[in-house]
Amino acid sequence: MTQAHGSVADILSAARLIPVLTIERLDRAVPLARALVAGGVRTLEITLRTAAGADAAAAIQAEVPEAIVGLGTVVRRQDLELAQRLKLPFAFSPGATPELLDAAVELGVPFIPGVGTASELIASMARGFTTVKLFPAEQVGGVGMLKALSGPFPSARFNPTGGVSPANMRDYLALKNVVAVGGSWLATPADIEASDWAGITAKCESAMAGARA
């Protein structure tokens, strides 16, 4: 599943930080993406939690070429078909149902399933998905969980999301089996609603400096 931007693991490894973006209004999408890119954050997860999500992803893809746009909150086959139509380089899910995994294989979508147990990880890896989202990361064991999984699953790579913050992101990024972390703190719904583009850029610059340290 190789795309113009590289494999899913390559994209996430290069990004290190993936903002989880919930966009309520389409007119916020492009200025938000430009603010993130200005702060050094180019790889963006646009969630399908709102009615504007799909159109926001398409608008950013069309108007902010510096951004690498993927979908989040992918929970149905139709969501995978949307990612396929838009030719997006990745699609995140909070879960890993057999139906969703099988659809991603069938459609050839660069898919990152969400796992919270070893069984879900086994099911994902059996279908070829070795890069997964640990979700909700803090609630299912966080850094300790990832260390435990590294023994029986040495080839698995993780993007922990859920409870990741500036206070603990470096603990996650220090792990060899973590390619990137995700979180909403870089651009919260309140930040987006307030059009605080300068504040978002500043948070991104600070976070990226911490991620590289």
At what angle are helices 98-107 and 118-126 packed, to 10 degrees?
Answer: 30
Q: Is 133 annotated as catalytic?
A: yes
HSE-up of residue 177 (Cα within 13 Å, Cβ side): 23
Catalytic residue among 45, 120, 138, 203: 45
Token pair for residue 21?
């973006």
Alpha carbon distance 7, 103 (integer Å)? 19
Catalytic residue among 120, 133, 138, 203: 133
Alpha carbon distance 135, 141 (integer Å)? 10
The CA-based angle 23-25-31, given to 5 degrees, is 75
Instruction: Give the residue numbers annotated as catalytic, written as ranges.
Output: 45, 133
